[in-house]
Structure 1
């Protein structure tokens, strides 16, 4: 195994768990966390939650689960290039979307509006709540009892869709005391999330016919990679035939850029706590590659995320969540008994957020259909 960088999190240097547990000789602490995440019920549900396009006739469109697996794959590669702890990066990646509600970011916006004045809703805070409280596989405590570093990576996950947030209650407040930044491994996950989101949505958009060759060729990173691959592409190639090798090469270019731009920066830090005290991320793209990626993101946003059919699906998802939430708020007895029992201590808005956010797209539609038929 390659030596870890001095600012990476060694297995032996974890800050531990809220509830002490004996160590195992079979798995490292972060491998234990990975096993707990991939076997929890919340992880199984993300296979049926929207990434960009919701319920579709195309079985190959990505979901939150496929996205999380792809982020974990990129994170492990980046961690290896930067001398970081790959197991820690992987488990943060696998868990980073556990708190996402149905219907993607539209569902998150709807819940945040409905919970205004009652703590709001933010999916990173909800991911922490899932692993700290809502999952309950052990009789002696609530939650998965994950290591400090994984929990910190969830609440401090920052991308263009994710902003610094506070835990819903004081149980996770200690995660913010160590400094504004998370570990190198968590910062790697943030970039891996961005790369996976951008490139795999690009692939889905091409597959759906929303992006043609002219649109892709308008993007500088695409053009440069096509030039690199020119000798390997078949004569008269079509975009559908070669999109996968081109996108794979784009990912390789991005990973190489991060490794080149970040290696010298990371070498300046002697410990993970020095990284935490920095005002901004130390795992970065070069300025030139940042410009290229932003150009790609603008193209995909214009031709995919802002399409009328995507906007219509978002509006429908918001309406379903709003009507379902308001029905439960008016008559909390419609909630499952285990949620009803928490109402007095935690308040209706937080409990309903927990229930609705845990739903898959399909279950949410069915629950909405049941309650609207009985009104």
Structure 2
């Protein structure tokens, strides 16, 4: 009987101890059989840095909803992004290489996952809100059109007299209007803080941050996600470019980040296989960039006496940053990739075809609006025809845009392909 009472007691509540050695912090509290949302919010208040965003202090959602029993607001945001149709489409949207060029190369989906992983690692070490930062990282490319930056450039040119096109704005448009999963509102009703991070650029008219004239920059969580995007982009495009033989090893060895880490590796291992060496160098480059970023960001926190979230927003400079030396090395790598990879003849050939596909689709829909996919004809849509076409094309994948082009323009496609 005594044993049963003890077991029942443990079922009713647990005694939890959280010991954070780095912060020399520990505390006890009692909860019922599972952590409630309020318990997690209490943990955040106690453990996260004073300038981190606390989910319990969120500015909320545009459309009021009942809070979840055991998930915080930002955990729900992350789940809503992952379950969106726009997120799933990222699997077939180009990073640099078109989807059918090989299973190895990164897509917008794998890139977004890598950005989220780097973001979480940095935020955990800086005691920032991982759930908020991860939500921003996973959502940051939702608005990217097919064919990467070529697609964005083409759509922006086609829309130059109709408001233009920019993928961060489109990401915000997707989560606030275009994604349809709820009967009570358009979009997925993300929190103010996640929308702020998705907007990214402080001059965008739709950026929630502009509601306060004192604010210049988004939260530190959003800034970390932004830098993580750049770290992942450069390092992983370096990996893909080397694997695809677009990059020359001799030229690569002139780039400081590659050269320095290869020397370290050569001292440790003799006659290491080049494929294995590539992975280790890319890994080391990511580590170097993250380590410098963390150190410099913490220095800026102290330098500008950041004590609260709004101190980050109102600071005259971005708190998140590389050191001057590391920034120069990272820019050197970016310039190298721009010249030797993004402007490579093979990549440029695909860009030429991508421009043809998207331009011709836009022209066809303008001439015959009835050809637009179903969402473009949705009742109550008050957007201009050009904007509806832009939404339709930007929401396509590489594969679906190529298929649509063939259906509309290829003389070899039969009547069945047009239906």
Partner of 1:305: 342
Shift of 1:316: 1.0
Partner of 2:135: 91
Distance of 1:110 and 1:279 partners within structure 2: 34
Distance of 2:236 and 2:132 partners within structure 1: 23
Q: Does 1:55 align with 2:99?
A: yes
Q: Does 1:198 align with 2:242?
A: no
Which residue, out of 248, 255, 261, partners 2:283? 248
Shift of 1:340: 1.8
Shift of 1:60: 0.4
Q: Does 1:156 align with 2:200?
A: yes
Which residue, out of 291, 302, 310, partners 1:273? 310
Q: Does 1:325 align with 2:362?
A: yes
Quick one: structure 1 residues 306 and 111, their matched pair in 2 at CA, closer, same or farther if it must change by over 3 Å? same
Shift of 1:320: 0.8
Quick one: structure 1 residues 239 and 192, their matched pair in 2 at CA, closer, same or farther if it must change by over 3 Å? same
Shift of 1:173: 5.2
Distance of 1:9 and 1:202 partners within structure 2: 33
Residue 365 of structure 1: SS of its match in structure 2?
A: helix
Q: Does 1:121 align with 2:165?
A: yes
TM-score by length of 2: 0.83
Contact 2:59 2:192 in 1 (8 A): yes
Distance of 1:343 and 1:331 partners within structure 2: 20
Contact 1:329 1:348 in 2 (8 A): yes
Which residue, out of 219, 233, 243, partners 2:255? 219
Deviates more, 1:182-191 or 1:18-27: 18-27
Contact 1:206 1:240 in 2 (8 A): no
Distance of 1:192 and 1:342 partners within structure 2: 40
Distance of 1:228 and 1:297 partners within structure 2: 22
Deviations 1:166-205 (A, max 9, x none): 35xxxx4544223221100010011100000000000001
Shift of 1:214: 1.8
Distance of 1:117 and 1:165 partners within structure 2: 19
Partner of 2:211: 177
Partner of 1:187: 223
Partner of 1:346: 383
Partner of 2:293: 258
Partner of 2:150: 106
Distance of 2:363 and 2:169 partners within structure 1: 22
The 5 A counterparts of 1:287-298 are: 287-298=324-335
Which residue, out of 79, 82, 86, partners 1:38? 82
Residue 129 of structure 1: SS of its match in structure 2?
A: helix
Partner of 1:228: 264
Deviations 1:30-64 (A, max 9, x none): 11011000011000001000111113432101000
Contact 1:212 1:239 in 2 (8 A): no
The 5 A counterparts of 1:331-370 are: 331-341=368-378, 345-370=382-407
Residue 101 of structure 2: SS of its match in structure 1?
A: coil
User: What is the count of residue pairs matched by the alignment?
Assistant: 364
Which protein has the larger Cα radius of gyration, Structure 1 or Structure 2?
A: 2
Distance of 1:212 and 1:369 partners within structure 2: 35
Deviations 1:122-166 (A, max 9, x none): 100000000001111111111110011110111125xxxxxx553
Contact 1:181 1:275 in 2 (8 A): yes
TM-score by length of 1: 0.93
Residue 229 of structure 1: SS of its match in structure 2?
A: helix
Distance of 1:363 and 1:165 partners within structure 2: 33
Q: Does 1:237 align with 2:272?
A: yes
Question: Which blocks of at least 5 consecutive residues in structure 2 are unaligned?
Answer: 1-17, 21-46, 412-417
Contact 1:128 1:155 in 2 (8 A): yes
Quick one: structure 1 residues 26 and 260, their matched pair in 2 at CA, closer, same or farther if it must change by over 3 Å? same
**RMSD over equivalenced CA pairs, Å:** 1.8
Quick one: structure 1 residues 24 and 289, their matched pair in 2 at CA, closer, same or farther if it must change by over 3 Å? same
Distance of 2:142 and 2:289 partners within structure 1: 26
Distance of 1:61 and 1:37 partners within structure 2: 23
Distance of 2:408 and 2:343 partners within structure 1: 31
